């Protein structure tokens, strides 16, 4: 079986460091907001060349705290993509704001600047930009666009750890960047975890209060906050995995480039290479095909895992039925949702695995 995410090989790779980290935390007797969190926050912020990293409980709350810290509230509008994990949308709803869905750029699968511009009103406060599949594209243009329209740029970096654009990392172009460390991510914990990065000192201070009941000091609650702390164990585990992130990112790029060079099946459409190699960290390798069910069945026959990201647009989810949201023409997003499928793309694929995937993918024809 060729897995979408090979946690068995990953554990084997990091086993010694993870066990050492577990023992160190357990023997410290300190499990929440201690030295391990401080160490990881320093390491991650240094890795991205950003001033502040604020560890939180998960990717959803990284986004939600970002919006809370920016005073986004009921009636405000946040423009984002319908092709994303629903956590992106929940963060908007949870602060009382209105999600506004604009169509995607068919070259990347991410939000289109041209389409987003059509939805700007006097209620628009934020562009919530999701770097889908690990592709951080056109970030300088996005920042210029937001500056021109007096909008805040918040980056959803759940899939784009260590992607770069024009020499700067994803997460550092907006007022803040929100990361998920869910186990499947390019940098994953052994459970739920997340963080926010920012260069704004005041924003960072507020975010630290928001994650910890709104406290500025113990038992001193200055604002209404929540409980969203990155615990010591996950911080320690993440520090272990952070140690070789450059190598892991390079392996992902090598896998994706091998696919792009060798998949030649005319029944399948590949997304183009990024403008610059550093733009993409290939969290996923998406393929578009109008014969998706047949293609998945073909892969299953030869024990190759696949997944669909995402089969139902966020704007079509039942949870939004009785809620306010704005949507118009989403032709590109509908096409992606109807035809997309991801094949394995991770650092633990062997040359034999890749050769088999290429052979089986190229052998596909619809029934």
Domain boundary among 227, 242, 257: 242
160 and 307 belong to one structural domain: no
What domain count does the chain have?
2
Residue 2 falls inside a structural domain: no
90 and 123 belong to one structural domain: yes
56 and 164 belong to one structural domain: yes
SS3 string of the chain? CECCCCHHHHHHHHHHHHHHHHHHHHHHCCCCCCHHHHHHHHHHHHHHCCCEEEEECCHHHHHHHHHHHCCCCCCCEEEECCCCCHHHHHHHHHCCCEEEECCECCCCCCECHHHHHCCCCCCEEEEEEECHHHECCCHHHHHHHHHHCCCEEEEECCCCCCCEECCEECCCCCCEEEEECCCCCCCCCCCCCEEEEECCHHHHHHHHHHHECCEEECCEECCCCCECCCCHHHHHHHHHHHCCHHHHHHHHHHHHHHHHHHCCCCCCEECCCCCCHHHECCCCEEEECCCHHHHHHHHHHCCECCECCCCCCHHHCHHHCCCCCEECCCHHHHHHHHHEEEECCCCCCCHHHHHHHHHHHHCCCCC
Q: What is the CATH number of the domain that holds 285?
A: 3.90.1150.10
Q: What is the pLDDT of residue 113?
A: 98
Residue 143 falls inside a structural domain: yes
Residue 298 falls inside a structural domain: yes
Q: What is the CATH number of the domain that holds 137?
A: 3.40.640.10
Neighbouring CB atoms inside 10 A of 216's CB total: 13
Provide the residue-wise pLDDT of the chain in tens; the chain has 367 residues: 999 999 999 999 999 999 999 999 999 999 999 999 999 999 999 999 999 999 999 999 999 999 999 999 999 999 999 999 999 999 999 999 999 999 999 999 999 999 999 999 999 999 999 999 999 989 999 999 999 999 999 999 999 999 999 999 999 999 999 999 999 999 999 999 999 999 999 999 999 999 999 999 999 999 999 999 999 999 999 999 999 999 999 999 999 999 999 999 999 999 987 889 999 999 999 999 999 999 999 999 999 999 999 999 999 999 999 999 999 999 999 999 999 999 999 999 999 999 999 999 999 999 8
256 and 325 belong to one structural domain: yes
Residue 108 falls inside a structural domain: no
268 and 147 belong to one structural domain: no
Residue 367 falls inside a structural domain: no
Residue 189 falls inside a structural domain: yes
13 and 126 belong to one structural domain: yes
Q: What is the pLDDT of residue 275?
A: 81
Residue 37 falls inside a structural domain: yes
335 and 269 belong to one structural domain: yes
Residue 1 falls inside a structural domain: no
Domain boundary among 218, 242, 266: 242
147 and 201 belong to one structural domain: yes
Range of the domain at 317: 245-362
């Amino acid at each position: 079986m060729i897995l979408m995410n090979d946690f068995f090989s990953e554990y084997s790779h990091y086993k010694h460091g993870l066990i050492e980290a577990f023992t160190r935390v357990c023997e410290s007797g300190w499990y929440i907001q201690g030295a391990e969190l401080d160490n990881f926050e320093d390491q991650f912020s240094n890795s991205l060349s950003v001033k502040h990293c604020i560890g939180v409980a998960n990717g959803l709350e990284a986004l939600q705290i970002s919006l809370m810290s920016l005073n986004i509230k009921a009636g405000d509008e946040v423009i984002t993509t319908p092709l994303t994990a629903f956590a992106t949308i929940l963060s908007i709803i949870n602060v009382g704001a209105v999600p506004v869905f604009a169509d995607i750029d068919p070259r990347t699968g991410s939000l289109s600047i041209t389409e987003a511009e059509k939805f700007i009103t006097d209620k628009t406060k934020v562009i919530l930009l999701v770097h889908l599949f690990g592709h951080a594209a056109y970030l300088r243009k996005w920042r210029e666009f937001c500056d021109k329209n007096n909008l805040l740029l918040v980056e959803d970096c759940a899939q784009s750890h260590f992607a770069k654009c024009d020499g700067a990392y994803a997460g550092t172009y907006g007022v803040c960047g929100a990361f998920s460390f869910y186990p499947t991510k390019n940098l994953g914990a052994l459970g739920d975890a997340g963080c926010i990065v920012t260069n704004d000192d005041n924003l960072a201070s507020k975010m630290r209060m928001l994650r910890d009941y709104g406290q500025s000091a113990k038992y001193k609650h200055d604002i209404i906050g929540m409980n969203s702390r990155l615990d010591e164990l996950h911080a320690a585990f993440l520090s272990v995995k952070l140690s070789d992130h450059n190598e892991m990112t390079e392996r992902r790029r090598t896998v994706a480039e091998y696919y792009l060079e060798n998949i030649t099946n005319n029944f399948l459409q590949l997304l183009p290479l990024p403008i610059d190699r550093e733009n993409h960290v290939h969290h996923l390798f998406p393929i578009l095909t109008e014969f998706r069910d047949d293609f998945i069945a073909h892969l299953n026959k030869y024990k190759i895992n696949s997944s669909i990201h995402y089969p139902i647009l966020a704007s079509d989810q039942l949870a939004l039925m009785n809620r306010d949201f704005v949507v118009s023409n989403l032709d590109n997003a509908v096409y992606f949702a109807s035809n997309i499928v991801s094949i394995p793309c991770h650092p633990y694929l062997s040359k034999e695995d890749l050769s088999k995937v290429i052979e089986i993918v190229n052998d596909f024809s619809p029934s």
